[in-house]
Amino acid sequence: MIAEIICVGTELLMGQVLNTNAQFLSRELAGLGITQRHQQVVGDNAERLEAAYRLALSRADVVITSGGLGPTVDDITKRVAARVAGRELVLRPEAEQMVRERFRQYHREMLPNNMSQAMFTPDSKVLLNPYGTAPGAIVPVGNGQFIVHLPGPPRELQPLFREQVKPWLAERSGRTLVSRYIRIFGLGESDVDNRLRRLEEGGNPTLSPYCSTGEVMLRATASAETEAAAEALLTPLVSEVQAALGDAIYDIRSDDSGSMARAAVEALRAGGLKVCTAESLTGGLIAATMVEVPGASEAVKGGFVTYMTESKTELLGVPAEVIEKYNVVSAEVAAAMAEGARARLGVDIAVSATGLAGPGGGTPERPVGTVFVGICSPLGTRTLPLRLSGDRPRIRELTVKHALNAVRLEALQLKGKQQK
C-alpha cells in the first residue's frame, strides 16, 4: 500500500503553524509498513488543492488530508475531494447528531454554517470525532483508492487516526506489524550506527534510527501474517540491540510515548523511592518535566529553584565559603546543593544542576555550556561535569536530560541494592 499526505492550510505555507501533523502521520504510516513517497502542503485554494488531489491519486492508494474541515468559506478539503470523486456532499445524520451534541457540550451556539461540518459524500465512512466539532471521513474515490479526511488540530487528529484510521489501514494492508521503540541516551548517532550497522541492513525485521536533542531512538519493526509470527522475528533483534548498547538504552516499549522523564519516574516508583530537585540554570525544568508524567506524585516530593547565588545558601545551606572558593558553577557547589536539598526534604535521591546556559557570562575557564549535575542518595554524593554546546534552550534541555538520566540510574542502583 502506498499513501500520500496532503496538509491543507495557507497558515502552513506561511510558517504561522508548525506542520506537526505530517510528522505524526509519517511515523504512524511507517509503523504500519505503509510506503510513503511524497507529501504535499497546499494553501486554501480550490484549484491548487484539486491538482494536488489528482497528482496524489496518480501515485498513491490512500491520500490522507489534515485540516480544512471547518465551517468557513476557506475550509475546502471535503468539497474539492467530492468534486474529484464525482460525487455530491449530503447531510449525514450521524455526523449532524455528533456536531450538535458537541456544541451542547461546549455550551456554544451552533450557527447555520456549522452544519457544513456534517456533510459528506453518501458512500463515505464518517469518522465521528469525540475531541472536536469536525468529523472526519474515509472517502472512496474509485479504483480501490480512498481519501481520508482528518481535522487539523493535532489534539483531534492524533487520537482520531490511532483509534479509527489506523485499524482500518492495518486491516487493508493484509499484514501485521509489530514495533519496538528503543530510546538511547549517552551515545551519539554515529556511535549507535557503528555498533548496529549490520542489524540496520536487515529487510525484515527492520531497524531505523531517529535523532532528537541528545538522544537516539531506534524503531525495530517486524512484518508477518500474524502478531505472534512478527513477535518471533522481532525479539532476537531487540535482544541483539540490548547486548550492543547496554545501559545506554533507557526505554523500550511498543509505542513512541517513552521519554527520559517517564523512565526516571518509573524507575523511582519501581523502587518505592522519592526524589527532589535543586535547580539553578534550569529554573525548575527538571521538576516540571518529571511532574508531566502521570503518577509522578508518588515519586516527586518537591524542589528548590535557587537561581541567584545567595539563594543557594539561604535555601539549601550551601556554605558561602564553598561558593567563594570554587565558584557557583562547580562540582563542589552542585554536590552541596544536592546534599542540602536531600537533607531538607528527607528524600531518597536529590538531583541538582548549576551552570552557564548563556548567551553571556562565560569565561575561558568556564565557557558557556559548562554545567555540573549533582546526585545525592544513600549511595553517596557524586557529580557529573558536562561541556554542552548550542544555544541557551538547547543547553538547558540537555541539562534536564542528563539530570533525569542520573536520577534513573541512581534509582536502578538503589533498587538493585534493596533486592540483594
How far is CA 156 from each of CA 153, 161, 292, rounded to the nearest angstrom? 5, 9, 20
pLDDT at 150: 98
What does the pLDDT read at residue 309? 96
pTM: 0.77
The overall average pLDDT reported for the chain is: 95
Where in the chain do CATH 3.40.980.10 domains reside?
2-173
In this structure, are residues 214 and 398 in contact, taking their beta carbons and an 8 Å threshold?
yes
The whole-number average pLDDT for the span 73-77 is 93
Instruction: Report the pLDDT averaged over residues 335-339.
Output: 98
Query: DSSP letter string over 323-356?
Result: HHHH-SSSHHHHHHHHHHHHHHHT-SEEEEEEE-
- Judged against a pLDDT cut of 80, whether residue 365 lies above it is answered with yes
Q: In what order do the strands lie in the sheet with 62-66?
A: 35-42, 2-8, 62-66, 145-150, 136-142, 125-127
Percent of the chain whose predicted confidence (pLDDT) is above 70: 100
- Greatest distance between any 2 Cα atoms in the chain: 81
Residues 6 or more apart from 228 whose CB is under 8 A from it? none
- The answer, yes or no, to whether residue 329 has pLDDT greater than 80, is yes
pLDDT of 420 strictly over 80: no
Give the right CATH number for 2-173 from 3.40.1190.20, 2.60.40.10, 3.30.70.20, 3.40.980.10: 3.40.980.10
What pLDDT score was predicted for residue 174? 74
pLDDT at position 368 over 80: yes
Q: Smallest Cα–Cα separation from 221: which of 231, 211, 206?
A: 206
Could you give the angle at which helices 77-85 and 46-57 cross, rounded to 10 degrees? 50
Give residue 201's pLDDT band: very low, low, confident or very high (50, 70, 90).
confident
pLDDT grade, residue 34 (50/70/90)?
confident
Pick the CATH number of 260-419 from 3.10.20.740, 2.40.340.10, 1.20.58.760, 3.90.950.20: 3.90.950.20
Higher pLDDT, 91 or 33: 91
pLDDT for res 387: 97
**CA-to-CA distance for 22 and 25, rounded, in angstroms?**
5
Residue among 190, 244, 183, 241 nearest 212 (CA):
183
pLDDT at 173: 78
Q: Is the dihedral of CA 370, 375, 376, 378 positive or negative?
A: negative
Q: Is the pLDDT of residue 33 over 90?
A: no
Q: Which tens digit of pLDDT belongs to each residue from 161-199?
A: 999 999 999 888 777 788 899 999 999 989 999 999 999
85-119 residue pLDDT tens: 999 999 999 999 999 999 999 999 999 999 999 99
Is the pLDDT confidence value at 30 over 90?
Answer: no
Q: How does pLDDT run across 43-67, given as a tens digit for each residue?
A: 999 999 999 999 999 999 999 999 9
pLDDT digits (tens, 9 = 90+) for 221-256: 998 888 899 999 999 999 999 999 999 999 999 988
Looking at the chain, which residues constitute the CATH 3.90.950.20 domain(s)? Answer: 260-419
pLDDT computed for residue 113 by the predictor? 93
Give the pLDDT mean for 121-146. 96
Which parts of 52-135 are beta strand (E)? 62-66, 90-91, 119-120, 125-127
Residues of the chain with CATH 3.30.70.2860: 176-253
**DSSP β-bridge partners for residue 139:** 147
Please give the CATH number for the structural domain made up of 176-253: 3.30.70.2860
String of b and e for 348-373 (b: at least 16 CB within 10 Å)? bbbbbbbbbbbeeeeeeebebbbbbb
